[in-house]
Homo-oligomer: A and B are copies of this chain.
Amino acid sequence: MSDLPQTNQTDTSDEPGREAHLDYVQDVRDAVWDRDTRWLARLLARLHPADAADLLEQLSGDDFAACVDLLGGQLPTSIIIELRDEYREEAVEVLPDDAVAAVLGELDSDDVTTILEDLEETRRERILDELAPEDRASLEQGFAYEEETAGRLMQREYFAAPEFWTVGHTIDHAREHADDLPAEFFEVYVIDPAHKLKGQVPLATLLRTPRDINLSDIMEEVESDIRVEMDQEEAAYQFQKYSLASAPVTDDNGRLIGMLTVDDVVDVIQEENTEDLLALSGVNAADGSDTVLDSVKSRAPWLAVNLVTAFIASAIIAIFEGVLDQVVQLAILMPVVAALGGNAGSQGLAVAVRAIAEREMEGDAGRRAILRETLTGLANGVIFAIGVGIIAFAWFRSPELSLTISVAMFATFIWAGFSGIVVPLTLKRAGADPAVASSVFVLTLTDIMAFFSFLGLATLILV
C-alpha cells in the first residue's frame, strides 16, 4: 500500500509530533461538527497519510462518516488506502461514485483491487461503466485471480528490461519513461523476448555498476518462485525465507506478470497470525470496530460446539453418579484434574500450531514432536501428580483419595500431551486448518480423560 507518490516536503517545521496527534482528534472533531471542510482538509493535509488515517479511526462511527461525507472527493486517496479495512469500506460507501472513480485512477493496481473488493457488485459495475473501456479492462484484471492468491495481492506495474541492455541504457530508459514506472520498486526484472523472467538486478547493484556493463552480467537468479495462483500465505513464506523486499510474480509459463512488495506481504503475515491466535480461542474473526452483533456471530458457533462437548463431559460424570453421591470430595476435586489437564493440552497445542505455521513440523520433525510432547506430558504428569496428591492429602487426610487424584492427574497429563500434538497434526494432514478446531477437540478429550480416570479410579479404590 505504500506505492503512493510522496510529496516532496522538506520543510517539516509544522509537522506535529507523535503525541500531538491525539490533540488533533479534538480539532478534527470540531471541524466535523462545524462542517468546516477547509479547516478539516488542512488539518489532514499536515499529517502523513498513515497518521491521518490513524486519527480518523479514533473518531466515533458517526463522526467518521460525517467527516468522509463532508470531504467527499477532497478526502485524499493516500489516506483512504491507509485506513484499516472496515474504515476503508465505510469511507468508500459514503463517497460519491465519481470520487471513487477518481480514487481508482490514482492508485497502483493492487490498491485498485483492494478498493474494488470493498464495493457492492452493482455499484462496482456502475463505477466501472463510467470509465473508458481500456481503463476498465485494466482495473478489472486483478479480479481475474482468486481471493487470497498472489495474483490478487500483486501490482501489475514493475520495471522490466531485456538482458542485452546495458546499465547506462537502463538508467536512461528509466529517466525518459519516469512516469510509466511504478512509484516504488527495488529491482529491475530481466526478461527475454517472450517476456519470460530470466533474472533480476537489485537497484543497489545497478547503482554501483559502470554504465557499459550488460544487465545479463550482473543479474542474479530469482530464488523465489511465486506464481499468480499461489496462495498468499505461501508467497509470504517465500518472502520470509529468502528475506525479500519485493518479488516478481509469474504465470505457469514463467512469464513475468506482476510484482509483490513486502508491505503487502507483512499485512498477510499479520492476518494469518491473527487468524491463528483467534482460532485457537474459538473466535472466527474480530476487529476493533466490530459491533456486539459481529462479536456474537463470530463467537456463538464455537460456544455452541462447546455446549455439546461440555454435556458429553457431563455424561461421563453421570456414569459415576453413584460414587459422587457417596464421596462429595470427588465433586470438589474433580475440576482440578480437568483444569490442569486442559491447561497442559492447550500448552502443547499452542506450541504445535505455531510450529506447523512456521513449517517446523515437516517430515521426521512431526514424529519427534509427538514423542517429545508425550514425554513432556509424562514429566509434568509426575510433577503435578505428586503436587496435587500432597495438597489433596493435606486437605482431606485420605490416602486413597490422594492416590486416586494423583493417578488420574498423571494419566490426564500424558493424554493431554499426546492429544495436544496429534490432534493438530491430524487436522493438518486432513487438509484442515490446525488452529481452528483443535482447541475444542483437545479440551474435550482431556475433560473426558480427566473425569473418566478420576471418577473411575475412585469407584475402584474408594467404594
Contact = CB atoms under 8 A, between A and B. Distances in A.
Contact of A204 (B186, B208, B280): B186
A270 interface: yes
Interface of A: 1-2, 6, 8-10, 12, 15, 18, 22, 25, 48, 50, 54, 58, 60, 159, 171, 174-175, 178, 181-186, 198-199, 202-204, 206-210, 216-221, 223, 225, 239-246, 261-263, 266-267, 269-270, 273-274, 276-278, 280-283, 286-288, 290-292, 295-296, 299-300, 302-304, 306-307, 309-311, 313-314, 317-318, 321, 324-325, 328, 330-336, 338-340, 343-344, 346-347, 349-351, 353-355, 358, 360-365, 369, 372-373, 375-376, 379-380, 383-384, 387-388, 391, 443, 447, 451
A171 B244 contact: no
A344 B299 contact: yes
A147 to B, nearest CB: 21
Contacts of A225: 18
A63 to B, nearest CB: 11
A159 to B, nearest CB: 8
B296 A354 contact: no
A8 B201 CA distance: 10
A383 B300 contact: yes
A113 to B, nearest CB: 16
Contacts of A270: 240, 269, 273, 358
A309 to B, nearest CB: 8
Contacts of A391: 307, 311
A380 B339 contact: no
B336 A335 contact: no
Nearest to A217: B8
B208 A178 contact: yes
Contact of A288 (B25, B50, B355, B443): B355
Contacts of A443: 339
Contact of A175 (B8, B210, B273): B210
A10 B219 contact: yes
Contacts of A330: 331
B185 A204 contact: yes
A325 B242 CA distance: 64
Number of copies: 2
A171 B208 CA distance: 7
A208 B175 CA distance: 4
A307 B347 contact: no
Contact of A350 (B281, B362, B447): B281
Contacts of A218: 8
Contacts of A331: 317, 324, 328, 330-331, 334
Nearest to A211: B175
Given A283-B347, A332-B321, A291 B207 contact: no
A171 B220 contact: no
A10 B199 contact: yes
Contacts of A261: 245
Contact of A174 (B208, B313, B384): B208
Contacts of A282: 343, 346-347
Of A48, A218, A223, A451, most buried by chain B (CB within 10 Å of CB) is A223
A416 B39 CA distance: 44
A57 to B, nearest CB: 8
Contacts of A296: 376, 379-380, 383
Contacts of A245: 186, 245-246, 261-263
Given A203-B203, A210-B175, A242 B303 contact: no
A220 B302 contact: no
30 contacts: A1-B243, A8-B218, A50-B223, A50-B241, A50-B243, A159-B204, A175-B207, A182-B204, A184-B204, A186-B186, A239-B266, A243-B266, A269-B270, A277-B354, A280-B280, A283-B350, A286-B351, A288-B360, A288-B369, A291-B372, A295-B351, A295-B372, A296-B379, A303-B340, A310-B339, A311-B336, A313-B336, A321-B328, A325-B328, A339-B447
